[in-house]
Amino acid sequence: MAATIESVLSEKRVFPPSPEFVKQANVSGMAAYQALCDEAERDFEGFWGRLAKEHLHWSKPFNRVLDEANPPFFKWFHDGELNASYNCLDRHLASQPDKTAIIFEADDGKVTKITYKELHREVCRLANALKALGIQRGDRVLIYMPMSIQVVVAMQACARIAATHSVVFGGFSAKSVQERIIDAGAVAVITADGQFRGGREIPLKPVVDEAIGMGGCDAMRKVIVYKRSGSSVPMTAGRDLWWDEAVKGQGDTCDPVWVSAEHPLFILYTSGSTGKPKGVQHSTGGYLLGCILTMKWVFDNKPTDIFWCTADVGWVTGHSYIVYGPLACGTTVVMFEGVPTYPDAGRFWKMIQAHKVNVFYTAPTAIRSLIKAGPEEPKKYDLSSVRILGTVGEPINPEAWMWYHTTVGRERCPIVDTWWQTETGVIMITPLPGAIPTKPGSATLPLPGIMADIVDETGNSVGKGKGGLLVIKRPWPAMLRTIWGDPERYKKTYFPDDFKGKLYLAGDGASIDEDGYFRIVGRIDDVLNVSGHRLGTMEVESALVANSKLVAEAAVVGRPDELTGEAIVAFVVTKGPRPTGEEAKKVAQELRDWVAKEIGAIAKPKDIRFGENLPKTRSGKIMRRLLRSIARGEEITQDVTTLENPAILEQLKQSQ
């Protein structure tokens, strides 16, 4: 980590926003940014209270802004009532019913548009259908859908009737779906027959069937299936029904169910440092406020904007910047079913041109893979509509940043490198495009009201020019409220005793430069970031050892990868003799497929190395730092005197 900090601290290039951009920006110039920060410093609750009143529609106004009686279980605006779907749809109906809400482009290029009025009707019809199926306030509904207008309808319909949704990324396996259904106690699943990505159909409903078939989904009663691919899928009588059947005859309006601002809008599972993913629970009022403010501040949202976030709705980025943020702001949002390299590496740029996208938000991994696949591709397209570029999910290396800046942004567009997490709900540290000068590879400064800092192991600020742990010192409205069903884990993970329970520990290492700019280096725990997707090393390890026929022991670490940021490396001790040569290749493939089945294809280890043993201390603890060095092909310079079996290092080094 030290070397990385060194290199990023020496970044000297600075790109201030153009005077024209500053002039038209929602937060115009450094002084305007500073004024907001000062307001939050001066009167923290007054600041958030003012914004919550200005930006949300409340059916019952709140009296109390922040309740800190039982930290870290903070409550925001909790005696106020509202409905997320009302705030996303109904409030635009009088002013802009015929404005396009979503431009959807399918994998094969077919474009479908839906207006705010039409979207409202579809949401109401599905909401009525869910009610007719007996789904009620507080029930959990799992959503396992392709990128589609219907997934937005499904999420909004849940929000409308105060059911809590839990969207599971369409690439997760049956086992992962089953675990999430059980953990959330979901009563229904909304899915599709299949989805298309890169010209291939990927089944979804069969995965749900397999998940429920594994047992334990005791609360599960209904499966609603949207017909996307037309492939034949078996339907279980009494449990499964087609979307079209469910909404048939349902009314076009549905009164929103008003809920407390603290009502759980959704649960989203994410990886942590144990084998079991955590159900990050978000609120309604605070979360929605964060979505709206970041749309306006970070993406400089304007009424005429066409906004495109390329994330999948299965991740938090899709929740906040495809569904809740853009709709609550009444924006036109672009949604894409496919992949960036199909039919060729010009797909993104072609879509920007076709839909006249103004704000484009994607992941460094996508940028890196597009640089590799077609560095000249953007030049073939008219990208003059773009005014802001964004990145999210992982650190962006300065080379990729510069390419994005020159080749895509044509040196005209501010780049917002946004740092945040599933847990933070919305963007936390980022340049404001019309205020904060950018530096390649830096997320720059915290948003107004976000009290971010970098501390050492004792919780003291490290100060400028140093590295340490990224923390947030005060609660913020969009923060997670707990881990579903596991408040203890919430407390222990995010507000550890080491810091007297007072600091939110993000789990990222970061440094702060002489201008006070933040650089996020990467995770400090056993969480990997592969192509911007979070995966726990323990999660992959548990999946491997679950193969009791083949695997005796496994340890998983990360290593840097040019394309995917990090890559997964697994060290495996097999039950039989250690496989070598062709046999090793065969077993490695078998194990990769196994992990894909256990978790999902995103968790497949890139390298698998076989050893007769793993490097352990005399007390039997696996020495992961040694494995990390081996995975990276580095010389082992660490102290190995506590190692029980030093010879194993040579074997593992040569085992590739």
What is the binding site for ligand WTA (CB under 6 A)?
270, 315-317, 392-395, 417-422, 443, 506-508, 520, 522-523, 529, 534
Is the CB of 75 or the CB of 534 nearer to ligand WTA? 534
Least distance in angstroms from the C-beta of 218 to ligand WTA: 29
Is the CB of 133 or the CB of 521 nearer to ligand WTA? 521
Least distance in angstroms from the C-beta of 383 to ligand WTA: 22
Least distance in angstroms from the C-beta of 111 to ligand WTA: 27
Tokens 């940014």 correspond to 33
Is the CB of 163 or the CB of 184 nearer to ligand WTA? 184
Least distance in angstroms from the C-beta of 278 to ligand WTA: 10
Tokens 């809920």 correspond to 259
Is the CB of 439 or the CB of 523 nearer to ligand WTA? 523
Least distance in angstroms from the C-beta of 321 to ligand WTA: 9
The per-residue DSSP string of 22-44 comes to HHH-SS-SHHHHHHHHHHHHH-H
Is the CB of 87 or the CB of 317 nearer to ligand WTA? 317
Pairing of strands 164-167, 140-144: parallel
Least distance in angstroms from the C-beta of 363 to ligand WTA: 9
Least distance in angstroms from the C-beta of 165 to ligand WTA: 17
Q: What is the DSSP letter of 178?
A: H
Is the CB of 459 or the CB of 507 nearer to ligand WTA? 507
Is the CB of 394 or the CB of 513 nearer to ligand WTA? 394
- Inter-CA distances, 95 with 58, 89, 91, 157, 330, Å: 18, 11, 8, 22, 10
Q: Which element (helix H / strand E) includes 49?
A: helix 44-55
Query: 542, exposed or middle or buried, with CB in 10 Å at 0-12, 13-18, 19+?
Result: middle
Name the amino acid, one letter, at 457: E
Asked if omega into 343 is within 30° of 0 (cis), the reply is yes
Least distance in angstroms from the C-beta of 470 to ligand WTA: 8
Minimal CA–CA distance to 359: which of 402, 415, 313? Answer: 415
Phi, psi of 207 (to 5 degrees): -70, -40
Phi, psi of 74 (to 5 degrees): -80, 150
Give, in degrees to the nearest 5, the angle at Cα 14 between 444 and 300: 55
Phi, psi of 89 (to 5 degrees): -120, -65
Least distance in angstroms from the C-beta of 498 to ligand WTA: 18
Residue 359, strand partner residues: 307, 388
> Percentage helix, strand, coil, to 5, in the chain?
35, 25, 45
603: which residues sit within 8 A by CB, 6+ positions away?
A: 535, 539, 540, 543, 568, 595, 596
Is the CB of 422 or the CB of 629 nearer to ligand WTA? 422
Tokens 């073939």 correspond to 380
CA gap 421, 426 in Å, rounded: 7
Q: Which element (helix H / strand E) includes 552?
A: strand 551-561
Least distance in angstroms from the C-beta of 529 to ligand WTA: 5
314: which residues sit within 8 A by CB, 6+ positions away?
A: 167, 168, 169, 170, 171, 172
Is the CB of 49 or the CB of 393 nearer to ligand WTA? 393
Minimal CA–CA distance to 123: which of 94, 154, 148, 102? Answer: 154
Least distance in angstroms from the C-beta of 318 to ligand WTA: 10
Residue nearest to ligand WTA (CB): 422
Is the CB of 184 or the CB of 510 nearer to ligand WTA? 510
Are 536 and 275 in contact by the 8 Å Cβ rule? The answer is: yes
Least distance in angstroms from the C-beta of 430 to ligand WTA: 7
Is the CB of 192 or the CB of 530 nearer to ligand WTA? 530
Are 597 and 173 in contact by the 8 Å Cβ rule? The answer is: yes
Is the CB of 346 or the CB of 395 nearer to ligand WTA? 395
